A and B are shown apart, each in its own frame.
Chain A
């Protein structure tokens, strides 16, 4: 079974600064998806960024980018130019085998605070 570990329960960043959230995972599969989801107080999980394991290039979405290290099974999220609206819970998630409707496995989350 796959596991996802987020070792930072809470992180804090000043507005306009950069912060990196850590995630490691364990799997024996060679092809899979990795995701970062944001969960504001409204409870709805919002996709921030996704990475396909077969792609060596790190995914980027505007101020959000990942550092995907497949051999190390590491998938960190970098938020640049942090904004007050970035404050939320962030969850790293793993999904097996593209092309099958398999479940997402989540980490325990990191609460991000953004200060002025």
Chain B
């Protein structure tokens, strides 16, 4: 697609429920990133994929959070047993493979706002 697409735009769920957030990166971008942005804060890194594999998952806060990218394109961020503290905007970004001329820029989607009641 022309840009990074994230669905749903907004998600309201109850404490304890399971949630999936989807990211469709720019076509041809092999690197994909997930960030979490709490109200009034800067985005915090969660995980990034190079192709299908998670190259760095050091930002995932605990084992309730998991992300996959099975075919090297679309990615899903999965949150189990949601807590009120998980409420935030979840941003996805993509970038070119370095060997193909990575300018260093990440291209962001509009995010998924998660509200846990």
Contact A101 B50 (CB under 8 A): yes
Is B93 interfacial (CB-CB < 8 Å)?
yes
Contact A43 B110 (CB under 8 A): yes
Residues of A contacting B113 in the complex (Cβ-Cβ under 8 angstroms): 43
Is B103 interfacial (CB-CB < 8 Å)?
yes
- Interface segment, B41-49, B60-68, B72-80? B41-49
Type the 1/0 row for A1-29, where 1 means its CB is closer than 8 Å to any CB of B: 00010100000000000000000000000
Is B117 interfacial (CB-CB < 8 Å)?
no
Partner of A101, one of B31, B110, B111: B31
Residues 47-93 (chain B) with a chain A CB within 8 angstroms: 48, 50, 55-56, 59, 89, 91, 93
Whose C-beta in chain A lies nearest to the C-beta of B94?
A101
Give A52 to B109 CA distance when docked, in angstroms. 24
Given A52-B104, A101-B97, A107 contacting B42 (CB threshold 8 A) = yes
Contact A43 B106 (CB under 8 A): no
Contact A105 B45 (CB under 8 A): yes
Type the 1/0 row for A97-116, where 1 means its CB is closer than 8 Å to any CB of B: 01111111111110000000
Contact B105 A45 (CB under 8 A): no
Contact A45 B93 (CB under 8 A): yes
Residues of B contacting A107 in the complex (Cβ-Cβ under 8 angstroms): 42
Partner of B41, one of A99, A104, A109: A109
Contact B103 A101 (CB under 8 A): no
Whose C-beta in chain B lies nearest to the C-beta of A101?
B31
Is A84 interfacial (CB-CB < 8 Å)?
no
Residues of A contacting B50 in the complex (Cβ-Cβ under 8 angstroms): 101
Is A35 interfacial (CB-CB < 8 Å)?
yes
Whose C-beta in chain B lies nearest to the C-beta of A6?
B42
